[in-house]
Structure 1
């Protein structure tokens, strides 16, 4: 399955209090799992920087990744971006193919 990285920045109101944040996060994940069957979660990280959270997941297709981002926006994210990601060895194979090298 394709891999995606979800980069999320929350609204200031959504970041208030850890107990509320925990409940909101749980509600979001429950909703995503229901609306986006087939998602396989790989990792969830809190960040220091321009984004608040990063999730790495596999989805069956791009439409499902769109749904994950839309549900994130619906649940208090100021921005939510799902980026397609390719493992480095796969990237090297793609680069070799572009350069006409045998894989």
Structure 2
């Protein structure tokens, strides 16, 4: 499985009642688990900066990663940006093959 990093930014409407963010997260997580049961969630963090959350997950293919992003956005409270990540040891091995 490939590793993906998803950056999520909440809309101002989602933060009108900050206590509701926990419930929204629960709803999103349940829907992802139901619709993408093979996805392995590695970590999620609330962060300071231009995004509100950083999520790390593994998926079998880019289409599944795209579906995760679409599911998060389908609730109408966030925008996302998703990146594929390469583990350092794999990156180093690839770099060694260059001439």
TM-score band w.r.t. shorter chain: over 0.9
**TM-score, length of structure 1 as denominator length:** 0.89
Q: Which runs of 5+ in 1 are unaligned?
A: none
Please give the residue correspondences for 1:1-103 in structure 2 after superposition, counting only pairs within 5 Å.
1-75=1-75, 76-77=77-78, 79-97=79-97, 99-100=98-99
Deviating above 3 A after TM superposition, structure 1's stretches of 4 or more consecutive aligned residues are none
CA distance in 2, matches of 1:49, 1:2: 26
Radius of gyration: which is bigger? 1
Cα RMSD between the aligned structures? 1.1
CA distance in 1, matches of 2:3, 2:16: 30
Q: Secondary structure at the match of 1:44?
A: strand
Q: Which runs of 5+ in 2 are unaligned?
A: none
**TM-score, length of structure 2 as denominator length:** 0.93
**Count of equivalent residues:** 98
Q: CA deviation at 1:17?
A: 3.0
